[in-house]
Amino acid sequence: MRIVLLGAPGSGKGTQAARLKTRLDIPHISTGDLLRAAVTAGTALGLRAKAVMESGQLVSDDLVLGMLEERLAQEDARGGFILDGFPRNLAQAEALDELLTRINQPMDHALQLEVDPELLIERLASRAQAEGRADDTPETVRARQQVYQQQTAPVIEHYARRGGLKRVDGVGDLDEVYERLLAALGA
């Protein structure tokens, strides 16, 4: 099963993808996690990404696309995957369509987690306290929300136009949201 999980920062994509991965036995590929790992490892890519991530802006498409293509070429992604945090803008969505056509692996499901913007701010503020992630400061959270509205919301329309986008209510406890996602996937 090949799945794209869409939603604003704090909508629960990463949280739910971690659960779906175990149930569906396919890898959870988060471009945010891949980028944070590169920052921690101090690779050339990580050094270029760090300041951009801390400002709440998107890392450049060429860096993210190269990183994703490498990840999708790994053995464990042959039987399917959950993409979390990608695509983030229309150029990435079109590049993904092109890549999946080239490797003959069409997307099966596009799911959007819907959460009220005020609740998103509360969730990220709690994570800032719990985990101290550098991009969860109030200023960066505001910037990430703006980037989402301007650049990522059109990606949702892209999948809606193509048909097959499923919108899932992301408000509720973790188990409730998880059950809704499974129902939307028919799993």
Binding site for ligand B4P (CB under 6 A): 9-15, 30-32, 35, 52-53, 56, 58-59, 64, 84-86, 88, 92, 123-124, 127, 135, 144, 172, 174, 177
Point out the residue whose Cβ comes nearest to ligand B4P: 32
Q: Verify whether residue 180 is a known catalytic residue.
A: no
Largest CA distance in the chain: 43
> Nearest approach, Cβ of 69 to ligand B4P (angstroms)?
12
Instruction: Point out the catalytic residue in the list 19, 133, 166, 167.
Output: 133
Decide if 162 is catalytic.
no
Whether residue 64 contacts residue 75, with contact meaning beta carbons closer than 8 Å, is answered with no
Task: Give the nearer residue to ligand B4P in terms of CB position, either 105 or 137.
Answer: 137
Cα–Cα distance measured from residue 133 to residue 127, given in angstroms and rounded to the nearest whole number:
8
* Residue 42 Cβ vs ligand B4P, minimum distance, rounded to whole Å: 17
CA quadruple 140, 143, 147, 149: dihedral, nearest 10: 120
Q: In what order do the strands lie in the sheet with 165-169?
A: 28-30, 81-84, 2-6, 109-114, 165-169
Which residues are known to be catalytic? 13, 88, 127, 133, 144
